Every structure is written in structure tokens, then in C-alpha cells.
Structure 1
Amino acid sequence: MTDLDDPGLLDDVHPRAVLAELFARQVRADPRAVAVQHAGKELTRGELDDWSDTIAADLQAVGVRPGHLVGLAVERGPVAIVAVLGLIKAGAGYLALDPDLPRRRQRALISAAAPVALIVQDHLDRLPTHHLPTVWADEAGLGDAARPEAPPPDDDGSRVFHVVSTSGTTGSPRAVRIGYGAVLNRLRWMWTDHPFPTGAAVLIHKSYGLVASPWEMLGGLLQGIRSVSLRRDELLDPVLLTDAVLDRRVTHLYLTPQLITGLLDELDGRTSAAPDIALVTSGADTLPVDLVHRFRRRLPGATLLNLYGATETASNTAAFDTARLAEDAVTVPVGRPVAGAELSVRDRHLRPVPIGVRGEVCVAGPPLALGYLGDAPDSAERFVRMPDGSVLHRTGDVGRWSADRQLEIIGRLDNQVKVRGYRVVLEDVEAAIAEAPNVTAAGVHAAPPAGDTVLIACVAGTKDLEIAALRAYLRERLPDYMVPSRVHRVAALPANSAGKLDRTRLADLAADAERPVAARTLTPRGPLQSALATCWEELLGRGPAEAEEDFLDAGGHSVLVVRLIGRLEKATGVDLPLREVLENPTFGGIATALQRRAAR
């Protein structure tokens, strides 16, 4: 009998206890089996058990009790996994404070969620001033495990597993409470519908601040499946990502369309490469039809699932096996309900609409989150109590049912977009810009080019407004993916008859503002600078204006930095470390690093 066949274990009465017992069973079965591989190291199930026991005991020692919320600020990978296991053992939940978040964003989350304690690492103890008990998650205590007290199994699915933030409309992060029951429900769906084959390995790379992260951290671990954790540079560099997939025999991956493209590009260059990939899931962004067909040709034995979900629905609520996609398809549907979700398409009065008619996609059932943290202004609007007592989440997505009952997503009712797989509400970015010194008005337009969506800000302000200072201000307050790639100063923003921002005219204004900066003024010196200038223009849409121009201020971000490094290596044969580029991302700084490396 497998764990999934044991009805006494996998009931829905005590989901926290189920998660704890599933891990305990894997430890008892083989404590010396490799559980997680990361950066050349291997951690066994027994080591994870001892380490997480210590964290759980330390949490209890500082007063953390079942149902409490704890702030989690550690590196992605093994430390995050161990911390989450420790929280499960202590019966607590966590507030995701990914170190990549700006400190001001962390402060806002801590203030809103009021955690009773923090789990941190020594070198990451840079959180905003606080007076909370602190538990250290570093490996120093590994091997000297303290045994925590087992919480009573009187929990239910409404106990908070984690609180994750998402973009709202106010300039402050909106936090969503996800219950233990919803997390276990999502895991059970994948275990049942897509069971792991013998020898499987799961790739781990997501931030634990994302709603889909429990699948990566726990999906394989609780079934005795080896997990492969990637560093950031391994994920963002297609060469390193492909090396990891091949060398560590990864079979299960959750990738954005952009990462799938990079993986296929690299595999195509290694014609003899035969990856062990069995299942790839993608759900953070729109999956292009041509990418699906390309995937099928290169990896005919693998399954590619297009998933649909949201933070408010504890990750995925619909799935489509792309093997069923017609050759002449125009879009890739998100499929049919999964994980017990009840999906419907409704009009503005919340009445179901017929097949083929557009409406708002709504979700009910086990996957639903517990709601927003605190008194979110749109909580009652988004989580609607129906006459029968059930709760209906209005996603804001516009969709329709196809004739064969496949859900198709067409657009949005609001100004929400996806940037590098993250949900961004344009008003959220605009509110942050409007609070900056010397800014009088701001509008943000999302331009979807052939590649990633690009945020373009048009800003009006006083004579003292400096764009470079504004970008620095935003980087201190917004996650990297929310900082506009380009910021243009304008005399005024267009308004409609009601006095509100006219987004149609804003798009035209943004397009007009883009044209003058397209001229290239810097003259490269030598072949290395010429290669750098070419790559710079290919990625940012314009060449560098001067040697002091900063790649990040010119519209770059971490993903584009990695792409810049990859293109430079192909063009010049010089491999630049990511760290060197980030330390001095100006044109002159990168050119100097190139010349220094080339001379070795």
C-alpha cells in the first residue's frame, strides 16, 4: 500500500498532521536516502529531519504555537525547505519575506501580518528594525538536533500554511492567506493525476514567496523523490539550466514559457542530448502555440501541461495537456478544472454564461485561499459569499468555454499584467511612483513586444525631478519585476472626460516617448565594445548613449543581465561572471570587465 492508498492518512481532517506524517514516513523508510541536491552538496532525509527538528524546537522555545505566523527570510533552496518543514512540525505558518524583496516592501508585510517571530540566516539578517524573537536557520546546528513537541492534531484546513504577497492597486503589497488544506489539496491532485515514476527528480527554483512554491518544496520530498535545487545563476542561464537538467537527470520541472524557450534553444544546440524529462508544467504566463509545437517535436516523450490559477486560489485550478493541442490552434487553452476546483464563467451579475460567451472566470471549492490579510478594500468584492453559503472568487480574468468544455483565457477586466511570470497591477506601480519626491503624476503602460512584457512609465513632475533618482527610489520600494523598464518625463498625462487616466492615449504617449531615445550616440571602440553595444541594443531596443549609462537604469533587469552575458560569450568568447556585471552595470564597467577577462 502506498501513502496515497491510505485513507486514514490522507483524509482532509488534519492536513498539517498529514504533511508532517508523510515526511516522517519517508525518513523512517530510508533516512540515508538523498533528499535534496544543491550547489554540489547532498542532504539526506535524516539530515533534513534533524535540521528541521532543531528549527521546530527553537520556534517552540521562543513561544511559537500552532496557528501562529512566523516571518521567513532565508535563501531559496535547502534552507527554505528545512525551515518550512520546521514550521509544519511546530504547527505554524509563514509570512514569505524573500530576501530579494526591497526592505521597505518587507517592512510593509511585517507591519500588516504581525508575525510573532522570525526565521532568518546570519548573513541575511538585514530585515527592517523589529523586536521579534529570532530563530536562526543556518546549518551550524545540524547534527545536534533538538526534538520538538508534537502539536495536537486538532488543526483543520483553515489554519494558515503561508501568507504570500501579490500586486494590488494601492502601492502596497496585498497579502493572501493560504490554508494547510488548500496546500495539501494541490499536492494530492498532482500525486494522483501525475504520479512520479521510479527514478524521478524534481527541479526546485521558485521563490517561497510564490503561491506555487509548496509543490516544488514538498511535492517530491513527501513522496520520497529526489529534489534538485538550483542557484539563481543556474536558473537564469540557459546553458547552466540545461547542464543541471541533464547532469542531475531531472524529470519534473515547473518553468515559465521564457525558461522553456531557453531550455529548448540549448537542447537544440546539443543534438545528441537526451534528457530524462517526463513532465513540464507552465502556468505563470501565456503559453505560445508555436512553443508547444516546438516542445512536442524536441521532447515527444514528455508531457507539457498548461496550468491556470492565481494566488487567491492556492495555485492551480485548471490544466490542459498540450498533447491534445490541434495543429491549427490559435491559442493554448488552460483546460478543465483540477484539484476539486469549481470553475465557472459569469456575467457582471455573477450569472453563468453559455458556452462560447465571454465572461469573468470565477473559482470555488477546495483550492480557494482563506482571503486577504487584514481589511483589504476589495476583499468582499473578490471573495463573494453566495446565497448557498459558498464562497466564489472573482479572478478578474476574462474567459470562455470552448465547445469541448475547455477553458480559454482571453484577457483581463482590470489593468493587471504578467511581467516575467509575476502578476502586476499597473495602479500599484503608479501609486509607488506618485509617492516619489518631485513627481506630480504618473501613468504606466505595459508594452507586449515579441519577448517579455515591458513596463513603460510616463511621469510628470517638478523641475527637480531626475529620472535616475526616481529609478533608485523605486528599486528601494518595489520588487525588481515591478520597476518600469523605461521611465519618460512628460509635460502632462492624458485624462478622459471623468478626469481619470486615459490608458488608450497613454499607450500612444508612451510610444511617442520611446522614439527619441532610440538614437544611438556612443561610438564603440574596438571589437569588444562593438559586440557589447550590439548586444545592449538587441536586448534594450536601443544602444548605449554614453559610457556611464547603467544597463539597469536603461531598462535592464536580472534576467536580461544573464541574457547579455550569454550573448557576449557567443559573440566574443569571453565568459563574464554575473557578479562582476552586477557590481558595475554601466557600459564602461562591463566593457572594462570584458577587456580584463579577454586579456587573461
Structure 2
Amino acid sequence: MDDRPTPHLIELFDNQVDRFPDETALIVDGARISYRELRDRARTLAAQLVGAGVNPGDTVACRMAGRADTLAAALAALAAGAAYAAMDPAMPEYRIGQMLANLQPAVILADGESTTSGAATVVNPPAPGAEPATEWPDGWRQVDGDSTFHIVYTSGTTGTSRGVLIPHRAVINRLQWMWETYPFQSGDTAVWHKSAALVASPWEMFGALLQGVPTLAVEHETVLDPQALWRTLTEVGATHFLAAPALLAGLAEEAAADPARPCRLRFLSTSAESISPELVHTLHARFPRAVVVNMYGLSECASNVTVYDTAALAPSASKVPIGRPISGCSVLVVDGRLRPVPIGVEGEMLVSGACLATGYLGEDELTAKRFITVDPGDGQTVRMYRTGDRARLLPSGALEYAGRTDDQVQVRGFRVELGDVQAALELHPEVSKAVVRSVSGADGTELTAFLEGDSVDLADVRAFMQQTVPQFMLPSRYLVLQRIPLTASGKVDMAALDELESGPATADEEAHVAPRTATEEMIAGVWTKALRRESVGVHDVFFDIGGQSLMAARIMSQLRGSFGLALPIRLLFDHPTVAELAAIVDQRLHEELKSMQSGG
């Protein structure tokens, strides 16, 4: 265990500002923000927070749309001695309302693009050109490693998000481990693309920043478009990129399609969900200079707990291990009675060390149930977190992930409790009972909702869910049943649901218009295959019939190849029906033909 004292992030940041005041700290939309400019902005915000009554130990909710303002807001809250809780701009207002009610923040930091509610004081960032503060407040000197750094929300089982309290100690341990194990080099540029609301975001926000290395902020829309992402990373010369396997796969495809672009990527990391051996080998082939690591973690352990360097993966491997614990962390694999199991035997993973969260905000009973005291066999009791994840210890000493002990699933890198989605569905007045199942497909894990009700309007249910839960929790498919099938003992008959799910996806289809032109036929065919449907109407809205952002990126990539046109992913968001998208494609094909004729 690492017993070093926990330095405060503001102190670490100041060290870099003093060393590199005029060097680039952050790149946003082509603009470069220096260390000095970022500190001025953060200090001014910190002074506003203190002036609004923020004290050490308080919580500041951050609702900033811009990356630079988000980073300055986090620094400002930490400088005031407070914890910050970032609100993802894409999160439905209903969900944000739940979070704010749980947080009871002293202040909400919000820009002009954010709406707020509740009784908390709202502070807006200073206007451009405002006189910057010249000093930090003293609040940050009054906190220690056990004080809360930030609060992140994860899926619960009752329809309400859980707030996880992440201490300074856990964040700094993760940063120091990475700096020492995979140190930055002169000329590096790291990428920040994750929402600041996610537990993994501190590494992207602060990892390079606190080492004098520029951070490239990439907006969500660019990340979803593999072609635009590849172009952005290569133009800036990015070296470090952490992403879910699906994003890395898209990047590898673009690298293969456009090999002439100079690529400086030398560190790739994934941890959101399982990565296949095939993708690992592809990444090594496409990016031969890069270290590719597979990591395992979860919110209650400040993101990452174990790491595996995939250079050691055998060509014939059927699984990619999750590796060994990082510095300051330990993992124990146990049986149902919390006794260590032998090598090769599956058991539940328990995690201990500097990475552990303090617990769940306002949920003492759940905290006591999940964060337990265990004797690992040496007579010393240790505080450990019950992950609910199963694993086995391999003879090599690495861990191999083996699934869950409960109904939690991973959807596009997010851990989702199926009960959370079910509870949200049952809030709809027309739904008397809901059951949600998960299925693995080409685009990852998807959710199917089985609904019981006398007169369920699926269009209304879809709209309701879009306003209630984040996009990654939206079912891809809805099936309305007269009754949810039950076994003789009164439990949900999962086998019967499996039979219904494997049937044609027509139960939630309303009257639709079939494709009328060759272009519509082409687009509808791609959609039908991706969405696993028998048919798609030309007026069906992509995101209403199970479409999601990563699937959209794959579809638009396929359509670019089919039509030979530059079709950015934004087109599908702006024109989300077959008819609308086909009209755009036909127009561009006509313009290209006209251009060729005039040129000839």
C-alpha cells in the first residue's frame, strides 16, 4: 500500500502554471488556452464561489456546456475546498432534478446554456474581460485525502441514480500510478472526450494538465464520427486516447482506410467494457507504436483497479485478461462465504486500497452492505468493496473477468441496473408492469423492454423515457404484452420472454410507409440490419426505433461507402428518418453529377 501523503490537486496545478505559464494547457475548437489563462479563469470562479457562501466540505453542482468552463469550474470548486458534481448536458432534466435533490449543493455553477431548478444559489461564470482574481481562496488547504473530490452518479435499482463519493486520495492515487507507470514525454498531447460527470473523467481532465502536457478537448459529436475523430486526432498529433472498444474499433477502421495521415498515437486504453482478442490484434496492427492496455474498474473504486498490457496476449487467446491491481489497490477473489478461492476458480472480486469510494450519498445502509470489513487471511481486517463482478485468477497472476452476480449490465461502457430501467418504465401511467432484458449484439449490449398494460401508446412511452433516463438506458426494442408470462411459482418466466424476444421485431411497429426509391431502399436496408428489424418505414425516427449514437456512426460509415459521398454523422441526427436522409443523399448525388458534367 502506498502511504505517501495525498497532495492537493490545486498545489499540483500551481506547480505546472509556475513552470509553463504561457504553454498550452487546453485545446478547444482550435483555440489554445494557456496555463496562466486557465488559472486566471479558475481563480476568478473560485472567488465567486466563496463570495456566494461556499465553504470547505460543501458541494458545488457544475452545469457548464463548454469544456474550458467545465475544467475551470472543477478547479474552482476544489480550490474553495468543496467537492464538485458535474451534470452531463445530455442528461434529461428529470434525472438532473433527482441528482440535485440528492446533492443539496451549496451552489450551482451554470452558464447561459444551462437551466437550473431548486433552491440552490446559481452562479454564472464572469463575463469575458472581467478582472481576474490573483490568488486562490484558502479553502483547499483545509481538506485532506479523505475529503470528497467529486460525486458521480451511477445507475441504481429503484429508478433513482446513486451518488458515489470519491475522495481526493482515490483520484490522486490513480493519477500518480499512471504518471509513474506510463509517463508522458515531451511533445505528447492527451485527449479529453468523456463527460466530466463520469468517474473516469479526472484522468482525461487532469492527467496531462498536471504534467505540463496539452489536453485536446474533443466534443461528443466528433467522437461519434470515426472519420471526424481520426482527422481531429491526427491533425493535432494526439498521443494518448482512452475509449470504449467500439470507439477504438472505429478509429482502427479509419486508420486502415486513410493510412497516409501521420499518426502519433502511442498509448491506447480501454476499460468501459470487454474487448475482444481480435480487436486487440487489430489495434496493434494499425497502431504499431502504441501501448494498448485493457483496464477494469467501476465508480465505487474511482474508475480503474486493474491493468493488462495486451502486448502479452497470445495470438490464440479467446479472452483478454483484465490484469493485475494498480498501485495502491488490492483485489481478492472469494466464494459466497468471502473465503479466497484457488487459482482458476471463479469467485466475486473484492477491492481494497486507496481507490475506494467513501460510500453512497445519503444511503448509509447500502454503503454498509457493499463496503465491508474482511480478513483476507493474514489476521488483519481490511475495508473492501463487493463489486458484484466475477473473475478467476490465472496461473500468470492476471485476473480474467467472468461476468456478474446480479442483473447489472454494461451498455456502451455504462453500468446499468435493469431494475433502474424497469422502475422508470413503470412510472408511465399506461405501463402496469415492465421487465427489461439485455442482449448482446454486433453493436454491444442492447436492452429490450416487455410492457404490460391495457392501452400502451409506444410512441408516448418512448418520448417519456427520453425525458426520464439517459440515452444509454433507453431500450432498443419494446414489446407490448397482454400479460407478462409467469412461472408456476409466480416469478417472471424468462424462458418465455426469450422466445418472444427471438421472434420478429414487429410487436412495436405501427403502420409505416415502405421505401419508394432506390436510395430509400438502400438506407432502409442498412437500418433494418443494424436495428435487427424485419422492416423500417421511411418515416420511422431512427432514435425512436432503437437507434443509438454508436450505431449511427457505424451506419453512416457504411452509407458513405455505399454512396461514395461525405456523409457526416450529424446528418442522421438532423434528418433521422429514411425519407429525410434519402432526400439529402439524392440532392448531393445530383450536385456531384452536375459538377462532373460541368467539369467534363
2:207 is aligned with 1:199: no
Change in Cα spacing, 1:583 to 1:246, as seen in structure 2 (3 Å) is closer
Task: Please show how residues 293-372 of structure 1 align to structure 2 within 5 Å.
Answer: 293-372=281-360
In the TM superposition, residue 376 of structure 1 has moved relative to its aligned partner by: 5.7
Task: Please show how residues 394-433 of structure 1 align to structure 2 within 5 Å.
Answer: 394-433=386-425
Aligned-partner Cα distance in 2 for 1:280–1:467: 41
Change in Cα spacing, 1:146 to 1:580, as seen in structure 2 (3 Å) is farther
Change in Cα spacing, 1:266 to 1:193, as seen in structure 2 (3 Å) is same
Contact 1:12 / 1:181 at 8 angstroms: preserved in 2? no
2:551 is aligned with 1:564: no
1:219 aligned residue (198, 207, 210): 207
In the TM superposition, residue 271 of structure 1 has moved relative to its aligned partner by: 2.7
1:442 aligned residue (426, 434, 445): 434
Change in Cα spacing, 1:411 to 1:504, as seen in structure 2 (3 Å) is farther
2:529 is aligned with 1:546: no
In the TM superposition, residue 215 of structure 1 has moved relative to its aligned partner by: 0.1
Contact 1:76 / 1:206 at 8 angstroms: preserved in 2? no
Corresponding residue number in structure 2 for 1:535: 526
Aligned-partner Cα distance in 1 for 2:533–2:294: 34
Aligned-partner Cα distance in 1 for 2:126–2:290: 38
Amino acid at match of 2:333: V
Aligned-partner Cα distance in 2 for 1:142–1:563: 44
Aligned-partner Cα distance in 2 for 1:139–1:501: 57
Corresponding residue number in structure 2 for 1:268: 256
Aligned-partner Cα distance in 1 for 2:252–2:536: 34
Aligned-partner Cα distance in 2 for 1:143–1:505: 67
2:368 is aligned with 1:383: no
Aligned-partner Cα distance in 2 for 1:255–1:139: 34
- Residue by residue over 1:403-423, the C-alpha shift from the partner in whole angstroms, topping out at 9 and shown as x without a partner, is 111101111000111111111
Aligned-partner Cα distance in 2 for 1:404–1:339: 18
Aligned-partner Cα distance in 2 for 1:286–1:542: 26
SS at match of 1:59: helix
Contact 1:313 / 1:369 at 8 angstroms: preserved in 2? yes
Contact 1:121 / 1:138 at 8 angstroms: preserved in 2? no
2:241 is aligned with 1:253: yes
Corresponding residue number in structure 1 for 2:44: 54
Contact 2:435 / 2:449 at 8 angstroms: preserved in 1? yes
Q: CA RMSD in A?
A: 2.2
Aligned-partner Cα distance in 2 for 1:327–1:53: 52
Change in Cα spacing, 1:544 to 1:38, as seen in structure 2 (3 Å) is farther
Amino acid at match of 2:163: A
2:268 aligned residue (280, 287, 312): 280
SS at match of 2:42: helix
Change in Cα spacing, 1:514 to 1:173, as seen in structure 2 (3 Å) is same
Corresponding residue number in structure 2 for 1:28: 18
1:74 aligned residue (64, 69, 83): 64
- Of residues 88-97 and 239-248 in structure 1, the stretch that sits farther from structure 2 once superposed is 88-97
2:149 is aligned with 1:149: no
Aligned-partner Cα distance in 2 for 1:478–1:397: 24
Q: Percent identity?
A: 35
SS at match of 1:590: helix
Change in Cα spacing, 1:103 to 1:264, as seen in structure 2 (3 Å) is same
In the TM superposition, residue 32 of structure 1 has moved relative to its aligned partner by: 0.9
1:489 aligned residue (477, 480, 490): 480
1:123 aligned residue (109, 113, 118): 113
In the TM superposition, residue 157 of structure 1 has moved relative to its aligned partner by: 1.5
Query: Please, what TM-score do these two structures have when normalized by structure 2?
Result: 0.93
Contact 1:60 / 1:148 at 8 angstroms: preserved in 2? no
Change in Cα spacing, 1:513 to 1:141, as seen in structure 2 (3 Å) is farther
- Residue by residue over 1:557-596, the C-alpha shift from the partner in whole angstroms, topping out at 9 and shown as x without a partner, is 2233333333333322444555554344233333333344
Task: Please show how residues 499-538 of structure 1 align to structure 2 within 5 Å.
Answer: 499-512=490-503, 514=505, 522-538=513-529
Contact 2:506 / 2:534 at 8 angstroms: preserved in 1? no
In the TM superposition, residue 447 of structure 1 has moved relative to its aligned partner by: 0.9
In the TM superposition, residue 399 of structure 1 has moved relative to its aligned partner by: 0.6
In the TM superposition, residue 518 of structure 1 has moved relative to its aligned partner by: 9.5
Aligned-partner Cα distance in 2 for 1:202–1:322: 20
Aligned-partner Cα distance in 2 for 1:288–1:580: 30
Amino acid at match of 2:260: S
Query: Please, what TM-score do these two structures have when normalized by structure 1?
Result: 0.93
2:98 is aligned with 1:100: no
Contact 2:515 / 2:537 at 8 angstroms: preserved in 1? no
Contact 1:74 / 1:137 at 8 angstroms: preserved in 2? no
Contact 1:519 / 1:543 at 8 angstroms: preserved in 2? no
- Of residues 77-86 and 413-422 in structure 1, the stretch that sits farther from structure 2 once superposed is 77-86
Contact 1:50 / 1:143 at 8 angstroms: preserved in 2? no
Change in Cα spacing, 1:163 to 1:141, as seen in structure 2 (3 Å) is farther
Contact 1:220 / 1:227 at 8 angstroms: preserved in 2? yes
Contact 1:306 / 1:319 at 8 angstroms: preserved in 2? yes
In the TM superposition, residue 599 of structure 1 has moved relative to its aligned partner by: 4.8
- Of residues 489-498 and 575-584 in structure 1, the stretch that sits farther from structure 2 once superposed is 575-584
Give 5+ residue unaligned stretches, structure 2.
592-600
Contact 2:43 / 2:132 at 8 angstroms: preserved in 1? no
Change in Cα spacing, 1:521 to 1:467, as seen in structure 2 (3 Å) is closer
SS at match of 1:354: coil
- Residue by residue over 1:86-130, the C-alpha shift from the partner in whole angstroms, topping out at 9 and shown as x without a partner, is 122211111221111110100111111111101111112x23x22
Aligned-partner Cα distance in 2 for 1:587–1:437: 31
Aligned-partner Cα distance in 1 for 2:250–2:520: 25
